[in-house]
Amino acid sequence: MEPLDHHKGENPSILFFLWLTLVLIAILAIGLAWRQLIDRDAFEVIEKRQTERRILKPGPRGDIYDRRGRLLVGNRPHYSAVVYLDDLRPEFRSQYSKELKKARAEIEATYLTASPEARPQTPPLPNYYKLQWKARQEVIQKYLDQINAITGRNDRLTETRLIRHFNENLLLPLPLVRDLTPDQYARLVEQIPPPPNSPIQIHTDTARYYPYHELAAHLLGYVQNKNLAPDEFPSDGIKTFAFQKKVGRSGLEAFFNETLTGTTGSELWRVDPLGFQDTRLELQAPKQGQALNISIDIDLQRAAETTLGNRAGAAVAIDIRTGEILALASHPNYNQNHLSPFIPQKTFDAINEAGAWLNRALQLSYPPGSTFKILTAIAGMRNGSITLDTAHNCRGVYRVGNRIFRCHARNGHGSVQLTDAIEASCNVFFYAEGLDMGIDTLSTEAQRFGFHEKTGIEVPYETSRNIVPTKSWKREKIGSGWVPGDTANTSIGQGFLLATPLQMACFMASVARDETRTQPTILTRSTLNPKPIEHGGEPIGLNPRQRAHLWQGMEQVTGRQGTGRLVGIDNFRIAGKTGTADFRAHGKEVNLAWFIGFAPVEDPQIAVAIMVEGTEESHAYHGGSTAGPIAKDIFLEFIRQYPERAGRLPPP
């Protein structure tokens, strides 16, 4: 018998197992094929979700330039020293094992060598979790100390910060030191070896940079760091980490946020089972946002803000033809560079306390005072109540019913006609005319000039609290009937009337253009387009003689005898109106100094509105002496920068 003969022949039980095995193998093969070929897509998705991680990096924001191409807001390098925790894993392990040995040695020294009676109830086993974090913290602190030695800083890494970073942003670099100065940055670059010889990396990001510091702070606005919104994350289920993006919080940064925001870039990484980076699979570089060219001229802006100084107030200069804002200042202000890359609490509190967050040019409305007399004059002339011969005798007081209304000239101005009334800002003339035409005519005219509406400028948070009082308005809001005294007050820009400095600048531009509306814009309009710009209004409706009469009165304001004589500039004709209004603010009765005007009279190019807000009862502010010099400096700067438009040079 041969050795293998006993395997010959058919054994039914073996055959059964043979078939059973074959069937099982077939089931496995079919299952495998099913998984590999049919369920492939589903598994691919699961595999991707398990092994891939995405990092999103928002693009830098676009720059903002003034009308002559000067950089107003840019991005400056923001240097940090960072470590990728992945690079430190071997050191974490080694340090952890050292910590563990130390802990065990301590146990041996204290617990095991103690007598059984002295041993505590529960054995003092080391807390492995805490030891792990301690080891990680010590390793990172070692590198931080190296940075401290080079830069002369004294930064410490807290365990809480480390744990938070580990749990929330494991794939992102851990910042050891932020906002390094260029000097510190250069030292670190030179004295810390580049990777892989040192795990410390010098990370360059961007922070918003404002080369002119406080200038146009409210207009330009500021940004704040913000986490990406859930809808900004791709919906493919891959776990995604994101750097913070910068979002405009105020001013143009907020209004044009979408334009300025850059395109987010992304990196796709394959990670190991512990979640650390392994291989980069994809890189899409972030792109900078679009640049914005605005209509501001930084020289005019500087002129306005320098003279405004430490006082609270606002100044607006506007191009009469196009409605482009040439300067828009609000004080008190703040240095935006102190808010970038983040707002320290101390800075926030200081700005808050000074009331500097508010843009007084358009976020607050004030009684326009005597500057409103120009509108009263227009309403009267259109109404027919004011003619070129209309005169009133000013004795310093005016009786309306039982109330006495005063003129600022105690002894009165005597007999005044319109031009003299504007020049001397005679209240009595306008009380009489206001009462003659009535509040309905006056408020309708004010509404025709858009005093009851927002201007619609592309700057956020423009107030809607612009009041043109009417009889129905008073009944609804105050709950009492209209009295003649209210009309008298309104006719000189007091009472319930409220307007913003921006509105007053638009009003002046409209008067200069002989239209009722001016659509202000902060964006540059092409100077090459000679076509008139549609501002949405209509002609004022004064005949040439009436208009000349009005303008003559306004020009006399800045003449030798006028209330705005401090604005006057030799060989430069300015039409304007001063105003001093009473105002209740900060719980006190304070006064407001106003000046509105345009120039040059023969070919109007620029209109201004200045408002200086008294913050103390002792502030004796007057339109001519307080607001006037600011307007003068703006006009002087305009002559310097645009001599041909100011009529100082023959046209080319």
Partner 1 sequence: MAKLRLDRLKPLVALAAFLFLWWILPAAVKSFTRLNLSEFHAPAWLITDKIDQLSNFWAARNHSKIELLEAGRDLARTNARYQILAQRYQNLEKEIERLESLLDLPPQQEYHHEIARVVRRDLNAWWQEIIIRKGRDYEIPIGAAVIFSGGIVGRVIEVNAYSSRVELISSPRFRMAASFDGDSRPVVYQGRIQSGFVAPRGEVSDVPQDLMTTSRKPLSLVSNQLGGTFPAGLKIGTVPWLAPGSTGIFQTGAVELDKRLHELKEVTVLIPLILPENVAHAN
Residues that bind partner 1 (CB under 8 A): 57, 59-60, 75, 77, 146, 149-150, 182-183, 185-187, 189-194, 197, 202, 204-206, 262-263, 265, 283, 285-288
**CA distances to 146, 294, 296, 552, 635 from 69, in Å:** 43, 9, 10, 38, 21
For residue 341, cis peptide bond before it (omega within 30 degrees of 0):
yes
CA distance 383 to 389: 15
Give, as one character, the DSSP assignment of residue 618. T
Contact 552/546 with Cβ under 8 angstroms?
no
Q: Which is nearer to partner 1, 81 or 581 (CB)?
A: 81
Amino acid (one-letter) located at 541: G
CA distance 338 to 353: 16
Q: Which is nearer to partner 1, 184 or 295 (CB)?
A: 184
CB of 146 to partner 1, least distance (A): 7
Backbone phi, then psi, for 230, in 5-degree steps? -55, -35
Contact 371/598 with Cβ under 8 angstroms?
no
CB of 122 to partner 1, least distance (A): 40
Q: Which is nearer to partner 1, 26 or 149 (CB)?
A: 149
**CA distances to 50, 85, 86, 94, 139 from 90, in Å:** 23, 10, 9, 6, 10
Query: What residues have CB less than 8 Å from 5, skipping those under 6 apart?
Result: none
Helical (H) or strand (E) element with 546:
helix 544-557
CA distance 268 to 48: 11
Residue 589: burial class (beta carbons within 10 Å; 0-12, 13-18, 19+): exposed
Q: Which is nearer to partner 1, 191 or 227 (CB)?
A: 191
Residue 343: burial class (beta carbons within 10 Å; 0-12, 13-18, 19+): middle
Contact 276/85 with Cβ under 8 angstroms?
yes
Residue 177: burial class (beta carbons within 10 Å; 0-12, 13-18, 19+): buried
Q: Which is nearer to partner 1, 196 or 539 (CB)?
A: 196
CA distance 506 to 510: 6
- CB-based burial, 536-574: b 16+ in 10 Å, e otherwise: ebeebebeeebbebbbbbbbbbbbeebbbbbbbeeebbb
Q: Which is nearer to partner 1, 80 or 365 (CB)?
A: 80
Q: Which is nearer to partner 1, 195 or 237 (CB)?
A: 195
Q: Which is nearer to partner 1, 132 or 146 (CB)?
A: 146
Query: What residues have CB less than 8 Å from 590, skipping those under 6 apart?
Result: 582, 583, 584, 613, 614, 615, 616, 617, 619
Give, as one character, the DSSP assignment of residue 252. H
Q: Which is nearer to partner 1, 193 or 530 (CB)?
A: 193
For residue 650, cis peptide bond before it (omega within 30 degrees of 0):
no
Q: Which is nearer to partner 1, 258 or 602 (CB)?
A: 258
Q: Which is nearer to partner 1, 183 or 349 (CB)?
A: 183
Radius of gyration of the chain (CA): 38
CB of 413 to partner 1, least distance (A): 60
